[in-house]
Amino acid sequence: TSQINKLTSSGGGIVTGYFNSDDLAAGTCSNEREIVYLVSPDSGGIHSTKVTNKFWKSNFAPGVFPHELEDLINHYQRVVVKGASAEAGCLNEGLSHLIEDLVGYNVENYSRYDLFLSSPQSYSACGGTSLAQRGGIYLFLRYLYERSGNDKNFLKNMVQSSAKSYTNIVSGLTGKTSDFDSMVEFLRQWAIALAYTDSGVTTADKYKYKARVKNATTGNWEGVCL
């Protein structure tokens, strides 16, 4: 809808879309249904910043839509079905960025984790939703997803849960071992993987990211390039 275009001011950036949790509750501010809001093509810049039809089709529609759909599903499963509190914003956004990757539209995550890797000591693994922090939590969740054996049940467990934040990650991870079943161990081995991937120092899978692969449908790369 062009109403989303109008939310972007002349100050830079662009509002690409969102999910509004109020829509899943009854009330005067609710549409009382499941809705994902997306910016619309606007090649002439009539409503705000120009959004060409080509760029909309190649970026916003295929990338932003599954991102926001994860937000909707996450909130619905946790709050409406489980009666629990909403997930921590950083982890929810991290899951959404991982979903962009898994559906074959990983094109924006590289710039986010480049920001994180330029100064990783400046950010916690799950401490906020800035672009750099989004890059960091995406990298962390991608590593855990690969350590789970690319098991989609890992993602399902975290969405269909009453646990929150770090506790949710530990309880949701599939394929845990005796030396890989706590947040301390997750973070320690992840830090090693960030340093050792593509270095030739080790061949141990637990200390490196898997090689990227091309998504069979979109032709885009899935995975991490360090």
Say what the pTM is: 0.93
Predicted pLDDT at 101: 97
Asked whether 157 and 174 are in contact (CB, 8 A), the reply is yes
Residue 180 DSSP symbol: B
Query: How would you write the pLDDT of the chain (226 residues) with one tens digit per residue?
Result: 999 999 987 556 789 999 999 999 988 889 999 999 999 999 999 998 899 999 999 888 999 999 999 999 999 999 999 999 999 999 999 999 999 999 999 999 999 999 999 999 998 877 889 999 999 999 999 999 999 999 999 999 999 999 999 999 999 999 899 999 999 999 999 999 999 999 999 889 999 999 999 999 999 999 999 9
Query: CA-CA distance, 21 to 73, in Å (whole number)?
Result: 10
Predicted pLDDT at 97: 97
Predicted pLDDT at 4: 92
Q: Which backbone phi and psi does 37 adopt, to 5 degrees?
A: -100, 130
Predicted pLDDT at 218: 92
- Rg, C-alpha atoms of the chain: 18
Tell me the residue type at 226: L
Query: CA-CA distance, 17 to 199, in Å (whole number)?
Result: 38
Asked whether 126 and 183 are in contact (CB, 8 A), the reply is no
Query: CA-CA distance, 21 to 29, in Å (whole number)?
Result: 10
